[in-house]
A and B are shown apart, each in its own frame.
Chain A
């Protein structure tokens, strides 16, 4: 199990154990993290699971692929550490990952 932490826009912290191979988005939905909508269900087709990766983790998490960058065009207040959480796969190297939920999704 890999530990994940979401920090909602109001500062509420959600800690959870995530299964390797699942997406960060799926864990947000399973744990009812507010502000992650995931309208398209994880198809990288909507930009409503946008998160900011904590600065300490950006290198580990890596850069978005071209398709995800395209989708991020539709997101609200995109920052250099912006990712779509449906495109981040949970793995051992991400144990302890912290992501923040933006003020709104699109």
Chain B
């Protein structure tokens, strides 16, 4: 049972932070389907930075990990500028722009990974090898029955994510910026009339989304795969979008959706183990979160809290 909680949490939290990114973007009125590409690109930049930095530190040092986290956020944010450019500057269709960003991230990072490996390390490899991040257990608290699992075998990034998520919530609901951002997603004309620049706020939202997605991506790279390669694109970005839709574009319910996905996944793995099924069934279990998505869609498709102006291109001149 503890195993399910521990693994579920370490999967759910990166998903959660990506979903928060999506919420930021969509709450500002810009459709965000690019989470998948952004997390991948962020992870790529982070992993590359970690590999570069690894030479300067001893094998067990955690500094490259933190550098990676930072760079992943920056990389995701920068790559999100592409979406911003297409959506805001050129007023492209936001769905198409999102798809373009996804495809481009996949192709670009695969190419760059090989190229950089060859140029810098003289190796023919399509991945950056990372370690699995170390984990820690909080003494005392971890002894609490059941709840103790939350404090057992914790990845450091989980703490970072919880902190960042709290800040994200605070900014969204308590500050002027957050208030303007949410207003942009409902009626951008009202924001404009209040003397704020809609596109500037949306730009910020998109970049924040990129940064949070990148953060989520590198966390997956440090936990699930222990490297960066094209295998990072397995659809977790889309899962994050599904989570934010089930969460009705609100942060706390979205956390619930993410946890559900996380536990479904870890529970599935456990099931395979307990029933001693052949390992090929592991792959089958991977589909569990997606099956759950389908089921939830059936029940939740009616509730619709999507921002009113979502996907609407804001043209100041139009009346």
- Tell me if chain B binds chain A: no
Name B's A-contacting residues (CB within 8 A). Answer: none
Name A's B-contacting residues (CB within 8 A). Answer: none
